[in-house]
Amino acid sequence: MLYQLSNSVREAAHSGIREIGNLAIKRPGTIRLEVGQPDFPTPPHIVAAAKLAMDEGWTGYTATAGLLSLRERIAGKLQRVNGITADPEAEITIGPGGVGAIAALVGALVEPGDEVLLPDPGWPNYRLMTTWSDTRAVYYPCPAENGFGPDLEQLAALVTPRTKVLVVNSPNNPTGAVYSQDVQRALLEIADSHGVWVVSDECYDELVFDGEFKSLATFGSDRVLSAYTFSKSYSMTGWRIGYATGDRQVIDGAVKVLESNSSCVSTISQKAAEAALDGPQDCVGEMRDAYRRRRDLACAQLEEHGLLLARPSGAFYVMADVSAAGIDSRSFAIKFLEERGVSVAPGTAFGEVGAHAVRISLASSEADLQEGIGRLAEFLA
C-alpha cells in the first residue's frame, strides 16, 4: 500500500547521529563515542524523589505548562544561574526535554513559508522542526577557523523579509563553542534590526569549562526566548524534561503547541526535577569537572595527531578532522565503525561545514575516549 505521507516529512532525512547509533547497537563491544548521553547515573536524591512521588500518588495530569511549584523553582534557578527574571505563572513552560521546549517555541512563532536561520554545524533536530512546520531552513556558517563561532557578515546577508526566527546554540552542539559577549551582542543587533525572534538553545548552560557564560536574554532584547533542560546538567536524559522562558504571549503559544502533542510532561519527572533544583548542586560541578578533564585529554590526543579542529569551551563534544580519509564523514563513520569498532557522529549530520569532520562525545569514559581516539588516529594513518 502506498501511504500518502506529508511530502516534507517523507523527504526529510533521519538524524545522522541516530543512524550511526542504530548501527552501533547491532555491533556488541562497540566503543560508543557518538551519542550525547552522560555516562553518569541520575543522582540518587533525584531518583529517590521520583519513587516517593509515585508512592504519594503524583501520577495524574498537571497543567500543560507544568506544576506551578516546579515553575517557581525554575524561576529561582533562572535568576540565580542565568540572570533572567521570569514570572513562573506566565513566562515559563515545561516541555518534554529541551527539544520539546524548543519545538514548542518554533511552533508558536512560525507560519508556512517563513524562514528559520540555523547554525551550521548545528543540531539536526532543528532541521527536522522546519519540515513539519513547513518552513525553510537557512543555514549560517560557523567555520572551524572562526572557532566554530558564527560568521556574522554572512549571517546578516542571509536575512530576508521572510526570516522569522534565528536559532542560536551556545554552548554549542556539536562543536562545544561558547560565544563571546561581543558575538552575542552582534547576533542580537542583527535580530533586533530585522524584527526577528531569537530562540536561544542554552541546554548546556551549566557545562562551561573556560571563562564566563552569559545567557542571551540578559543583553537587553525582549525578542529572546530561552530553552533549557535537566538532561545534561543532572544526567536526566531519559526523564524527558526541559523548559522555556520568554515573552508571555509566545510562551502562551508554546503551551498551546504542547497541549496538542503531550498534554503535559510526566508528573513523576516534574517531581524529580523539583528535587534536582532543591537538592545539592555539587553533582553538577562534579560532572562538569569530569567533562573538563576528558576535554583536556581528548584535545591533547587529537592535537598530537593533527586532528583537532578547535578546542571546545563548553558542552561535552569535540570535533575531529577526518579529511585525510578522502571521503565524506558519513561514509567514514560507517567504515570506521565496521572496521575499527568505534562509533562517532558524522559531521554531515550537522550540516555542510563539518562535512569532513566527526563529533566525539566527551560523555564517555576516559578509557573509551583514549582507546577510541587512538583507533581513529591509526585508521586515518
State the pLDDT at residue 205: 98
Structure confidence by residue, pLDDT tens digits, 160-211: 999 999 999 999 999 999 999 999 999 999 999 999 999 999 999 999 999 8
Decide if pLDDT at 348 tops 60.
Answer: yes
Q: How confident is the model at residue 12 (pLDDT cuts 50, 70, 90)?
A: confident
For residue 210, tell me if it sits in a domain.
Answer: yes
Decide if pLDDT at 271 tops 80.
Answer: yes
Decide if pLDDT at 2 tops 70.
Answer: no
State the pLDDT at residue 237: 97
**356 & 269 share domain:** no
Which residues on adjacent β-strands are paired with residue 318?
A: 360
> In the listed set 262, 278, 294, which residue is the last one of a domain according to the structure?
278
- % of the chain with per-residue pLDDT over 70: 99
Q: 373: domain range? A: 7-42+282-380
For residue 1, tell me if it sits in a domain.
Answer: no
For residue 336, tell me if it sits in a domain.
Answer: yes
> In the listed set 278, 296, 314, which residue is the last one of a domain according to the structure?
278
State the pLDDT at residue 1: 52
Mean pLDDT of 287-295: 98
Q: Is the dihedral of CA 335, 337, 338, 340 positive or negative?
A: positive
* CATH number of the CATH domain containing 180: 3.40.640.10
> In the listed set 245, 278, 311, which residue is the last one of a domain according to the structure?
278
**155 & 267 share domain:** yes
Decide if pLDDT at 13 tops 90.
Answer: no
**239 & 331 share domain:** no
For residue 361, tell me if it sits in a domain.
Answer: yes
**263 & 153 share domain:** yes
**373 & 274 share domain:** no
Residue 265 three-state SS: coil
Average pLDDT, the chain: 96
Decide if pLDDT at 252 tops 80.
Answer: yes
**267 & 190 share domain:** yes
Structure confidence by residue, pLDDT tens digits, 302-321: 999 999 999 999 999 999 99
**139 & 34 share domain:** no
* CATH number of the CATH domain containing 299: 3.90.1150.10
For residue 215, tell me if it sits in a domain.
Answer: yes
Residues in CB range of 288: below 8 A, 6 or more apart: 206, 207, 208, 209
Decide if pLDDT at 4 tops 80.
Answer: no
**147 & 295 share domain:** no
For residue 2, tell me if it sits in a domain.
Answer: no
Mean pLDDT of 55-66: 98
The CA-based angle 75-78-83, given to 5 degrees, is 130
Q: Give whole-number Cα distances, 284 to 31, 120, 277, in Å.
A: 25, 29, 11
Decide if pLDDT at 380 tops 70.
Answer: yes
Decide if pLDDT at 343 tops 80.
Answer: yes
**119 & 211 share domain:** yes
Q: How confident is the model at residue 9 (pLDDT cuts 50, 70, 90)?
A: confident
* Number of domains composing the chain: 2
**208 & 100 share domain:** yes
Q: How confident is the model at residue 377 (pLDDT cuts 50, 70, 90)?
A: very high
| CA–CA dist 22, 20 (Å, integer) | 5
What is the 3-state secondary structure of 195-236?
Answer: CCEEEEECCCCCCECCCCCCCHHHHCCCCEEEEEECCCCCCC
**239 & 168 share domain:** yes
Q: How confident is the model at residue 344 (pLDDT cuts 50, 70, 90)?
A: very high
Structure confidence by residue, pLDDT tens digits, 28-51: 999 999 988 899 999 999 999 999
For residue 96, tell me if it sits in a domain.
Answer: yes
CA dihedral 280, 281, 287, 292 (to 10 degrees): -150
**109 & 196 share domain:** yes
